[in-house]
Structure 1
Amino acid sequence: MSTASRTVPAALAGVLLLAACGSQSASQGDDATWARDAGAPVSAAPLCPSDYSQYGGTPPPAGAQASVTPSGSPTPLPLPSPDGPGENGVKVTGLYAWGSESGCAADYSAEFEVTNSGRKAATYTVTFGFRAASGAAVDNVEQTVEAVGPGRTVKGAVAVTETAGHAPEVSGVEVIKVRSVPADQAPSASGPCPASGVRVYADEGDAAMGLRVVGLHLVNCGTESYELNGYPELELLDEDHDSVDGVRILKGTDRISTATGGGGSPQPLVLRPGEAAQSTLAWRNTTEAGAGAPVNAPYVRVRAKPGAAPVMVEPELDLGTTGQLGVGPWKKDETHRGADTGRPMPLPPSTVPPTFPSP
């Protein structure tokens, strides 16, 4: 379920990759760290994004000519413990302020590293919080790092632009939350079509008065028709990706609320290439005294139908003590207007994308 820490506020914010301004090897990263610690000028190119876009904007396509060429150097800002341990494999390694004459569209940027200590490639979703000197939040930015191989460390950067008016100056950055899913089960709303021929992903959802609703979406991005008839198969998982027991999964959402749109009986669907379907997850965050400990399940492993390839989404289920989750039947998404077709492309299970260099 989307929370304030997962959603970028309606400020002007952007996300960047280090390689957007050129390749960076491990030795270059080491040199940048040495220069920062020694007080020497910091190279501008690895830190300022050429594909930086304001919040709500669309980044240019991959391979497009850089639209920003930084001409100045940023000012390094101190970190509480730059050499300290990371948060679930994510470590902030630098924080920089950009002046108006620097040529960089961002006001502040932060470097980070993601280390996969597991045995399988994983895709990470990290929420960074930029903070003022008082500790108050200036902005939160979410970044996805795809397919980090086992035992690998990749580097990236994240940036923010101050809101208009009198926004406080940024003086710190922290890792608010880290989520990771197996790379071969990562959801996708865009990019190469998965080997299954369909994309499955969850939206940001909605919450009001303890009622939570998240949409599940399936898009046929393949070249053949895709049939559905029934409900998605769900497996609830905790922060360690272990199964969560004791939760009853209801067919339909009417017993949670009749206003969620997840009621009715399932109907057979045949999705042609480019067509889409949607389902609904609904629950209540109600906690009753003496009813046991509240149940939280950040992850849900979804199979669109029996035998389908699993996809792990992050609805952030906070079920309280209700012990219930409603799931609606697949329904055709008449609002989908995408022309998302193409030959399915398998995801290499241990490939680190070229935009995130690794040692």
Structure 2
Amino acid sequence: MPTVARTAPAVLAAALLLAACGSESTSSGGDGEGGPVRAEAPCPSDVGSYGSPPSLEPSARPSGTRTALPLSAGKDVAEDGVKITALYAWGPNSGCEGVENSADFEITNQRKEAATYTLTFGFLTASGGAVDNVEHTVEAVGPGRTVKGTVVAGERVGNAPEVTGVEVIKVRSVPETEASSASGPCPDSGTRLYADEGDAAMGLRAVGLHLVNCGTRPLRLHGYPKLTIQDEDHRPVDGVRILRGTDQISTGLGGDDSPRPVVLRPGEAAVAGLAWRNTTQAGEPVNAPYMRVWAEPAADPVTVVPELDLGTTGKLGVGPWRRDEAYRDPAGTAAERP
């Protein structure tokens, strides 16, 4: 996921982008008579208007020729606070290398606190089939604020069909104060906590919770992370048993050992495993995207998005913290210490 900046620079960047585009319409594919609108515009990137602080000279960015495409009926309606405002085709002859399509969007934070959003967009064919799904992160959207951004689909290989539409597939949001991170500046807590992509096979799910000591002092862990499961509206999910150890879900996942004290020096990491099955029998299946995690009872919570599809099993196994021997500090912090 791209690294993104704060709301104020995003608004300024969006204003500069509109200024650079002249009077081109960004809400339709044409005027009904002259066909698709083609115009010169700055080349988009994955970061969109939320990247580095905006340049005061947008003309310094590479430019290319884009074609405005019409939005499908209903696709410009806000979904979970996200509204698609324009769709463009670029292609290999546009002058913007590596860009096939882009879409502009607006996001309104309907929560009462600043939030970080992870958005999944689907670029579609005329039949509605998926050509490409793209994930985009927007950080620190203030309560009640509306900000703008651009999501980019890269060039496709082979005889992939043309994109004629785009839709919002999924919206996930976490409080800005509880956002997880795997990279970037070290949080005030001195630790980074995040969930990995996990593995899924034959109805068995396994996800790792990772804790990195990016601070300057040793970090002591002992026992299991504390968890609270939340639904799409961030409400606690009842009726799920959180089991200590993953062996009651499946063996061989590495989360069935007894807890042992772990001391992490700066630059070292720990991992705790999550495991569940998505078996569905009688009852209402539980699908809970969010999880609040406390590394230790006194720690500040971090919200991760493991997308728990627990079926009707009603069980989630969690392993104890153990040293992550596979982790390598990108900055070499641990290697510099005796």
Q: TM-score, normalised by structure 1?
A: 0.80
Aligned residues: 318
CA contact (8 A) 1:82 1:93 kept: no
Letter in structure 2 aligned against 1:97: A
Q: Give the deviation of 1:239 after TM superposition.
A: 0.6
CA separation in 2, counterparts of 1:263 and 1:135? 45
Match for residue 274 of structure 1? 267
2:326 is equivalent to residue 326 of structure 1: no
- Name the structure 2 match of 1:357: none
Q: CA deviation at 1:192?
A: 1.2
Residue in structure 1 matched with residue 219 of structure 2 by the alignment: 226
1:48 alignment partner in structure 2: 44
The equivalent of 1:101 in structure 2 is 93
Q: Secondary structure at the match of 1:73?
A: strand
Q: Identify the residue that residue 80 of structure 1 maps to in structure 2.
A: 72
Counterpart of 1:5 in structure 2 is: none
**Using the alignment, how far apart are the partners of 2:52 and 2:263 within structure 1?**
32
Distance 1:326 1:32 in 2: 56
Does 2:28 match 1:23? no
Q: Are 2:75 and 2:167, in contact at CA under 8 Å, matched by a contact in 1?
A: no
Task: Classify 1:216/1:263 alpha carbon distance in 2 versus 1 (closer, same or farther; 3 Å).
Answer: same
Contact 1:220 1:340 in 2 (8 A): no
1:134 match: 127
Q: Cα deviations across residues 56-76 of structure 1 (Å, max 9, x unaligned)?
A: xxxx99899x9x944432000
- How far residue 51 of structure 1 moved from its aligned partner, in angstroms, is 6.5
Task: In structure 2, list runs of 5 or more residues that go unmatched.
Answer: 32-36, 334-338
Query: Judging changes above 3 Å, is the alpha-carbon distance between structure 1 residues 73 and 208 closer, same or farther for their aligned structure 2 residues?
Result: same
Give the corresponding residue for 1:193: 186
Q: Is the 8 A contact 2:76 2:84 kept in 1?
A: no
Q: How far apart are the structure 2 equivalents of 1:15 and 1:172?
A: 26
Q: Which whole-Å deviations, capped at 9, do the CAs of 1:227-266 have from their partners, x for residues lacking one?
A: 1000000000011100001111000000100021211011
Query: How far is 1:338 from its partner?
Result: 1.3
> Using the alignment, how far apart are the partners of 1:338 and 1:232 within structure 2?
22
Q: How does 1:216-255 map to 2 (within 5 A)?
A: 216-255=209-248
- Is the contact made by 1:250 and 1:325 (CA closer than 8 Å) also made in structure 2? yes
Q: CA-to-partner distance for each residue in 1:116-141, whole Å, 9 max, x for gaps? A: 02110000011101111121111111
**Mapped pair 1:264 → 2:260:** no
Q: State the Cα distance separating 1:163 from its structure 2 match.
A: 2.6
Deviation at 1:102?
2.4
Structure 1 residues 117-156: aligned runs within 5 Å: 117-156=110-149
Which one has more relative contact order, counting CA pairs under 8 Å at least 6 apart?
1
Is the 8 Å Cα contact of residues 21 and 41 (structure 2) preserved in structure 1? no
- What per-residue deviation string (whole Å, max 9, x for no partner) do you get for residues 11-46 of structure 1? xxx9999989x933289389878623575654512x
Structure 2 counterpart of 1:170, one-letter code: V
Q: Is the Cα–Cα contact under 8 Å of residues 126 and 164 in structure 2 kept in the other structure?
A: yes
Three-state SS of the structure 2 residue aligned to 1:25 is helix
Question: Any idea what SS the aligned residue of 1:246 has?
Answer: coil
- Deviation of 1:339 after TM superposition, in Å, equals 3.9
Of residues 298, 313, 317, the one that matches 1:307 is: 298
For 1:33 and 1:268, how far apart are their aligned partners in 2? 63
Partner Cα distance (1:115, 1:307) in 2: 33
- 2:84 maps to 1:92: yes
Q: What is the DSSP-based 3-state SS (H/G/I as helix, E as strand, rest coil) of the residue aligned with 1:23?
A: helix
By percentage of residues, which structure has more strand?
A: 2
For 2:44, give the aligned amino acid.
Answer: C
Deviations 1:250-298 (A, max 9, x none): 0000010002121101110110000000011100111122xx2111111
Q: Which amino acid aligns with 2:302?
A: V
Q: Any conservation in 2 of the 1:232–1:302 contact (CA below 8 Å)? A: yes
- Alignment RMSD: 3.2
CA distance in 2, matches of 1:114, 1:206: 31
- Cα distance between partner residues in 2 of 1:312 and 1:71: 39
Please tell me whether the aligned partners of residues 70 and 104 of structure 1 are also in contact (alpha carbons under 8 angstroms).
yes
Q: For structure 1, which segment, 73-82 or 311-320, has the greater mean C-alpha deviation from structure 2 after superposition?
A: 73-82
Separation in 1 of the partners of 2:22 and 2:321?
A: 51
Letter in 2 for 1:187: S
